[in-house]
Structures are given as structure tokens and as C-alpha cells.
Chain A
Amino acid sequence: MARRTTAARRYAEAAFQMGKEERGLDRWDRELGLLRDLLRDPQLRAVADHPAIAYAAKERILRATAGTEIAKEPLELVLLMIRRGRPRAVEAMVDRFEELLRRERGISLAAIRSALPLQDDERESIVGRLGELTGTKIQTSEQVDESLIGGVAVRIGDTLYDASVRSRLERLRARLTVA
């Protein structure tokens, strides 16, 4: 896993720089997203991955499926990765690209887990607090996790803001058993 993402980072950074220079980050973002979705298709993925299929064939198939919607550069990038034997890194590359884009725009992606589905006002206050904490705009993804018992746990990047009942109980247990 580590190795694959390391390679993906390099491609993502290259793509990001190109996009930035030609002021087409939005277009790159959209089209890379499309390509990622395309490669999620199991059939296409199997073809791209298959070592016995010649690159020329893979290229022809991908170009045909991509159609005219996608500009030259993003498609060439993905083809390059396939030619280099890294079709599996495409997804990680696109994820990384999106991360770079968010960083450029000062947006943090917050994965919110809560014991119960969030109400609108709750979401608003959480987003507000997180915005203050991180000093960035907050983009959220939500998930209901009953094992939290109550409260919320928010993960932004590698930082976990855990205000769930479960984590409090765990801390309480640690405190009582140590003393």
C-alpha cells in the first residue's frame, strides 16, 4: 500500500502542477474524477491490469471508452501510468490530486462519524467549530456509527477529534485502572 501511494503522489503532483500552470484545475479535477470512475469498472480494470494484453490494445480500448469528453492531458497521464504498469495507482493518484486541490483552496475534508444521523443545526455548529479549529473551509462526509454510543468523532487528515461517549468511557477506564 505504502509503495503504491508513493508512486501515485508523484503523478498527482505532476498533474496538479500542469493543471495549475494552465489554470485548468477544475477541468483536471473533473476529468480525473471521470477517469477514476471509468477505471472502477471491473471489466475495464481487468483489461488495464492484465499483463498479457498489449499496451496498444489497452490504449485503444481506453480511448474508445473515454470518448471525447476528456481532454488530452489527463487521458495521456492515465495512459502513461498504465504503460508504466501502474494502473492500480490511478485511484490513489486521483485521491491525492483532490487532496492537493483542497489544500490549494484551503479546504479540509472532515469525516464525521456520529452515533445518530446529524441534524442540520448540529452539522452547522460542528462545521463552524472545525472551521475555527483548523482555520480552513470544511467539506464534510458523514457516517453513522452506533458503536460510538453517543457524540461525534471527526477525522481531518491524520487528526482525530474524538468527542464520542465511547472515547470518554475509555479514558475514564484508563484513569481508574491506573490510579
Chain B
Amino acid sequence: MAIRSDEITSIIRGELKDFEAGADIAGVGTIVEVGDGIAQIYGLSGALASELLAFPDGIMGMAFNLEEETVGALILGDYTSLKEGDQVKTTGRVVEVPVGEALIGRVVNPLGQPIDGKGPIETKTTRPVERIAPGVIVRQPVDTPVQTGIKAIDSMIPIGRGQRELIIGDRQTGKTAIAIDTIINQKGQDLICIYVAIGQKQSTVAQVVAQLEERGAMDHTIVVSAAASDPAPLQFLAPYAGVAMGEEFLDNGRDALCVYDDLSKHAWAYRQVSLLMRRPPGREAYPGDIFYAHSRLLERAARLNKENGGGSLTALPVIETQAGDVSAYIPTNVISITDGQIFLQTDLFNQGQRPAVNAGISVSRVGGNAQIKAMRQVSGRLRLDLAQYRELAAFAQFASDLDKATRDQLTRGEKLTATLRQPQFAPVAVERQVAILWAATNGHLDDVETAKVGEFEAEFMRFIESTNEGLLPAIAKEKALSDELIGQLTKAVTDFKEQTGYGKPAEPKRAEPKGEEAESADSKPSAESKPSEAKKD
């Protein structure tokens, strides 16, 4: 025992050896008003903008409003134990979060403290949460894709590394599902994902984490959570904390993806603290710098050039609209900041078109350059065909008699739409996407029943793998559809249809009634049923 206590003493002595016993010099002030997650502090005349402030009991705060005699501070933590008259000290540091490898697989709060009960985070590196975005000189254009594994997105609204692509839609349209699928699809690839949950229910966050864990996606993911019950200042800070963690990878030449779910709630949190701080309200009572709050966040997404490590940070902000109103203040702001948007729509979702991506108004302004050539080869046609289909479908709703060209166009559109359907948690590798979209755009699915398109796809993939196992890897490797590969694909699809009996020649009698059943079950417009009736005549 004597030896052990000696050891303990020497260890503690070692720990304290370089402890400076000198005076502690700090700017101080006193709380005059506290509540709602904010505090007014008298004094603190030396405080810097967004400096970290130390409240009693280890609670931290952030200088937010610097006024003549007082400082308005956001309290980052539990403010209920603070009271009027408490002393507040400056720390000389700005707000920062721990960053680095150790965070991967963890769930943390916006201050980088673990909230998953898996013990402390072993990292010494920290980064300020606010940083000026990389400048023009260090950037390069987007040229590598982020494969989301979602056919509708990878083909028509491709996302490049370093891009900012907005996911926008009403509640319950599958916005988070797209983000989660994208994260899951990065499994085994060198893309670190950061999922920032802002103002969501704790249960929802727990569910997302469970889904990610179940599918092995937490191995490359950091979750930053500021739930609905957390004070508004923490919710406000969350996306900046997330992006700071991402920047660590960006600056080390690696690739990261940041999902902000969602920025509408971030705007609400910011509105709350701004109003409490008596900053003047603007449109929809948001503060005047709400645009800057979002633009400076999203500007930090970047693709660096080779001289600067070549890393990338992709941003996928999410915005929830109210009743499809994209012309509200926050949606228009974020739309104008991002490099494109993925629109999700309730009616498509209810029709069973999932993911409910509206291909007509969704765009990606820079992602096209990042697409692999093979995908570009099939997607051009896909876009065009779908656009024509939409126009015709709207028009054909009122027409009784349609010529063959129109009917064909409608059938094609129907099959393409069906091809783009995809269940959740089932990301598709890019070469498979190319194969099935190639088949669909080249009319090989036109004679397959719409309801059976999904089945067709699954069986076709199995067929290719068993009969021509080199084909899919070859597409993935060459990244383009050469004439030879097209030949192989054509052969595969013809053989497959012959063997399995998909399409007209096999069992036309069986196919017809089934088609009708599927159509009556489908709530899609009558435009679909009319041409098929015409066919029967």
C-alpha cells in the first residue's frame, strides 16, 4: 500500500509539475439578465466577437452582441443554474470543437462532447467553428461524383464532390431518407460523412443512428445532434460545428460530406436568439443576416485544387417547406446559395413514386461534370424522354384517341418513371444503374408491365452476373459505354427476355389483365390507363 500511494503521489506531482501558480488575468463582467439561453453581461469590455466566455460551473458561452457597456452572450449549455450577478470571464479563445479521426463513429453535441455513452473522445486537435471559406485561388471545379446510390439522383441530378446540393420538400417526403441513403452508400469508400441534426426529435436522431449502425455506415460517419430540446444557441451552432469537423478532413486532402438536417430549423433557432438579443427583425421576423448565416456556412463546402491537397467537402443542406411553398424566405435564400436542388413532392410520394424526386424542377448546376461518361451517355436521353413524357401525360389526360408515336412516348415515360423507383436503404452501384437505365432508355423495358419493372431489374442484374460476370465490372472500370459493351448489354437483355418471358411475345394474354390491375391500384393519372385501353382496341 505504501508503495502504491507513493506512486500516486509521484504521478500527480508529474501532472502538476508545469502548473503555473501565477495570477490569472481575464476580462470579467457580471450577468445582469439571464434566460432563454442568452445572457446580458455588464462589463466584459475586452470581449472579442464570438469569443468563448466562461460562466460559473464550467458552462460556456459565446459573445454574440458587443454593445457599449454590455455584452449579449449565447449560453452553450444548461443556463438554469446561472443567476443574476454571476461573474463571467473571457477566455481569449473563439468557440471551437474537437476534430479528427477519433470522432468518426460517434454521436456528439455541437460542442463536440460525446452523447452516445461511448466514453471520451481521444483527440487533441480542435478547430474554430467559424472560419472564412476557402478562397477562389485554392479551389478547382467539381470533377468527382458523390455516388448517392439513388438512380433518380445519380442519373439526372448528379452531385459532385465539393458541391452544395439542396434537398427540399414538404414534411414526410423522404428528405432525410435521401441523405441517409447517400451516407449508407459511402460504405467502404473514402468519403467521411457528417450528419448534423438540427432541432429534430431525439427519437428521430436515435432512429437515424440506429439505421446507420445497422447498415454499418457509422464506421465512416459523425453525427452532430442539437435536438429540439437543446437550447436554441446550440441548435444555431450545430451546422458550424459539423462543417468544422468536415474541414479537418478537407484540409488533409480527404473527402467529406456534410448533411445539414435541416436548415429551416436552424433559421428558426437563429431567429429566436436574434430576437431575444433584440436584433431588429426583418422579413418573416428573421434577422437581417440570416442569408449570411447560411451563405457563409455553405460557402465552406469546397473542392480544393492539387496544390492544396485536393480534398473536398460536399454539403447537402435540407430545407423543409410548408405546403410546397418554395418562395418562402428561407427556401429562396438557400436555393440561391446552393448549386442546385432536389425537389421532393408529396403527390409523387403518395403515388408511390419513391424517392419522390420531381425530375422536372430538380437541377444540379455543376454535378454534370462529375458524372462518369457511361452515366452521361444514358442520362441525356433519360432526361429528354421524361420531359416529353410529362408534357404529353398532362396533355393526353384529355385526349381520347392518340396516335402510335404518342402512345409509345407515354409507354416509354411510364417505364422510365418505374425504373427510377427504388426502395429505401437499397442503394444501387453506379454500373448497375447504368445497365438498367441503358435498358430502359433504349426501349427494352417498353413491353414489360409497369408493375413488374422492379422485379425485372432485380432479375436482370442477377442474370447479367451469372451469365456475363465481367460486364458490370467492365462498365465500372471503363466508366464509359463502348460499342463493345453496348453489344454485350444488348445481347444480355435479349437473352434475358427470351429466357424469362418478360415482354409481349411470351404471354400476352396473362400480361394484359395484370397490367390493368396494376393500373387501377395505381393512383397515377388516367393518362396511363387511356393509352393502354387504346392498345387493346
Contacts and interface: CB of A to CB of B under 8 A. Distances in A.
Interface stretch (B22-30, B373-381, B454-462): B22-30
Given A2-B69, A6-B68, A171-B24, A158 B32 contact: no
A23 to B, nearest CB: 29
B19 interface: yes
A176 B42 CA distance: 31
Interface in A121-179: 155, 157-163, 167-168, 171-172, 174-176, 179
Contact of A2 (B16, B21, B40): B40
Contacts of B16: 172
Interface in B68-112: 68-70, 87, 89
B58 interface: yes
A92 B67 CA distance: 18
Contact of B67 (A2, A171, A175): A2
A162 B46 contact: no
Contact of B26 (A9, A160, A174): A160
Contacts of B87: 160
Contact of A159 (B19, B46, B67): B46
Contacts of A155: 28
Given A5-B69, A172-B16, A179-B15, A162 B42 contact: no
Contacts of B532: none
Contacts of B22: 163
B25 A6 contact: no
In this complex, which of A6, A155, A160, A167 has the most chain B Cβ atoms within 10 angstroms of its Cβ? A160
B59 to A, nearest CB: 13
B58 A174 contact: yes
A158 B43 contact: yes
Interface in A22-66: none
In this complex, which of A1, A9, A157, A163 has the most chain B Cβ atoms within 10 angstroms of its Cβ? A1
A162 B26 contact: yes
A4 B189 CA distance: 61
Nearest to A168: B21
Interface in A57-80: none
Contact of A162 (B15, B19, B23, B68): B23
B126 interface: no
Given A6-B68, A6-B69, A179-B15, A1 B42 contact: yes
B45 interface: yes
Contacts of B69: 2, 5-6, 9
B44 interface: yes
B29 A162 contact: no
A158 B46 contact: yes
Interface string B34-78: 000000101111100000000000100000000111100000000
A122 to B, nearest CB: 15
A158 B30 CA distance: 10
Contacts of A174: 58
In this complex, which of B24, B26, B67 has the most chain A Cβ atoms within 10 angstroms of its Cβ? B24
Interface residues of A, number: 21
Contact of B24 (A9, A162, A176): A162
Nearest to A8: B69
Nearest to A177: B58
A160 B70 contact: no
Nearest to B20: A171
Nearest to B84: A1
Contacts of B25: 159-162
A163 B24 contact: yes
A172 B70 CA distance: 30
A6 B15 CA distance: 48
Given A160-B89, A174-B58, A2 B32 contact: yes
Contacts of B21: 168
B32 A157 contact: no
A160 B58 contact: no
A158 B40 CA distance: 15
Contacts of B67: 2
Given A1-B32, A2-B70, A160 B27 contact: yes
A179 to B, nearest CB: 7
Contacts of B40: 2
A9 B44 CA distance: 17
Contacts of B43: 158
B497 to A, nearest CB: 67
Given A2-B67, A6-B69, A158 B24 contact: no
Contact of B29 (A6, A9, A158, A171): A158
Contacts of B44: 158
Contacts of A5: 69
Given A159-B27, A159-B28, A2 B42 contact: yes
Nearest to A154: B23
A9 B29 CA distance: 18
Given A2-B32, A162-B26, A179-B15, 15 more contacts: A1-B42, A2-B69, A9-B69, A155-B28, A160-B25, A160-B26, A160-B87, A161-B24, A161-B25, A163-B22, A168-B21, A171-B19, A171-B24, A172-B19, A175-B15
24 contacts: A1-B32, A1-B42, A2-B67, A2-B69, A5-B69, A6-B68, A6-B69, A157-B45, A158-B27, A158-B28, A159-B26, A159-B27, A160-B25, A160-B26, A160-B28, A161-B23, A161-B24, A162-B24, A163-B23, A163-B24, A168-B21, A171-B19, A171-B24, A174-B58
Which 6 pairs across A and B sit closest by C-beta, in order of nearness?
Answer: A163-B23, A160-B28, A158-B45, A162-B24, A158-B43, A2-B70
